Amino acid sequence: MSVILGIDLGTSSVKAMLLDSVKGVISVESSPYEVSIPFEGYAEQNPETWWLETKQVLGRLRDKNEQEFNEIQAVGFSGQMHGIVVADCEGKPLRPAILWLDQRSRKELESINSVLDFREMGEIFRNRAFTGFAFPSLMWLKEHEPEVLLKAGAVLMPKDYIRFRMTGNLASDVTDASATALFDTAKRDWAFGIIKKFGLPEEIFPVCKESMEVAGTVTRQCHEECGLKEGIPVVYGSGDQMAQSIGNGVFREGEVISNIGTGGQISAYIKEAKYDRELRTHTFCHALDKAYTIYGATLCSGMSLNWLKNKVLGIEDFNSMSHMAQEIDPGCRGLIFLPYLSGERTPHMNPSAKGMFFGLSLCQDRRYLTRAVMEGVTFSLRDSLTIFEELGIQCETVIASGGGSHSDVWLQIQADVFNKKVKVCEVDEQACLGACILAGTGCGIFNSIEEAARRFVSFREKVYEPIPEHVGLYEKQYRVFRELYVANERFMI
């Protein structure tokens, strides 16, 4: 028996899991933090806050599971993607981290798009650059805070910073690096030609390794700060989307994940670096087998419901919102929500996209608003699923994860809108589980990802089947949803 530690550094909290290599999950702890918005369009976090909250979480795990904590033999990571930590040569952050939600780099994005055409972006990045990605964020720093880049020793992704605090190793992994829009995704290395072309310092881009490779070991300083034994091997880890894929048991073609968390994603495992020629979706390196993941992202999925809860309705918890939504018939009497509260990525790639309710009438109340938000977010995710099918990526079953998987009504909405069976993993924290499996496999505790997944990944007995009459209704509303964006795009400035 071995104990593995998996850490998931998210946008709204850090979570950590202790996994017994034979018996399964021992314990999970989490600690929340906020996104700082110092100016409109900005989204930042202090990397030191991540580390402080990580130490808090590890402290609670140690206090509650002292014996198992002292038996940890491997550490793995999962983390929010696209954001950047610009650090000096000693690893000290030079400014707050710029997150994936950040919209400040619109002008820089326009400049990038005026120099690079779709063909070049597709062949190299397999993606289109977008606000919140490392490329435009670094170009913003070059223009507005050049002194930061002059002092920079490394640009890291969020989870890389926590791994650095544990091992002293300034490095990244290919999954996170491929989500920067400065990476040659097919070659699995930095696109130094593009980096040089745009005048960014080449020396700040760190070594990139595969996710299961060992990055180093727990240092004495880390031991003194959070109690982990010195010398425990630590793997590079991966972006949260790839770790979550592994935690959901999706590491073969033909299966799709629908994740509704702060943001939302539809993703699939693919063996080759296939990509949408219109660059409406993203293709990034996967964490295993030198494969890839293709996915579409909606920026405000669970965040849309959170916005409605806190800023509009003043409701205490999400459970009550699910109950309210359950009381309303599918379609909400024609009420449709566009969840573009912070611009949108897939498929529009429009940082100026705006949210809206369409079809309001006197007969509708807060229950209708709640269900309409759930339906609108799911319509947005269907946009990605539609593109997958255009690319020949087929599936019969969707695996739901994230906070949306805790709501029966939202799970049924997904089954009806996607017209697919929907099932849910028994373990709630799939990204943490994926981080554990990566660490256990990379350190030789498991023989393979498949072996670990067979042992720990199981699904709830209930499967959500599409209801034919709901499928037909949603098909009509989905067409209206798409037409609403087209009709209003010119006003979204």
- The one catalytic residue in 8, 240, 383, 416 is 240
- 257 burial level (CB within 10 Å; 0-12, 13-18, 19+): buried
- 136 burial level (CB within 10 Å; 0-12, 13-18, 19+): buried
Report which DSSP code applies to 268: E
List, as residue ranges, the binding site for substrate.
81-82
- Are the beta carbons of 36 and 101 closer than 8 angstroms? no
CA distances from 46 to 35, 41, 93, 370 (A): 9, 17, 9, 33
- 114 burial level (CB within 10 Å; 0-12, 13-18, 19+): exposed
List, as residue ranges, the binding site.
81-82
Q: Where are the alpha helices (DSSP H) in 145-227?
A: 146-151, 158-167, 174-177, 192-197, 220-226
> Which has the closest alpha carbon to 257: 388, 130, 80?
388
Residue type at position 320: S
Token pair listed for 173: 């992994």
Hunting for tokens 């544990």 — which residue is that? 166
Q: Is 240 a catalytic residue?
A: yes
- Beta strand ranges found along 80-145 (DSSP E): 85-87, 97-98
Residue type at position 18: L
Question: What CA–CA distance (Å, rounded) separates 438 from 288?
Answer: 9
Q: In 3-state terms, what secondary structure has residue 64?
A: helix
CA distances from 379 to 41, 88, 236, 342 (A): 25, 43, 35, 17
Backbone φ and ψ of 201, nearest 5°? -70, 120
Residue type at position 292: Y
The residues that are catalytic are: 240
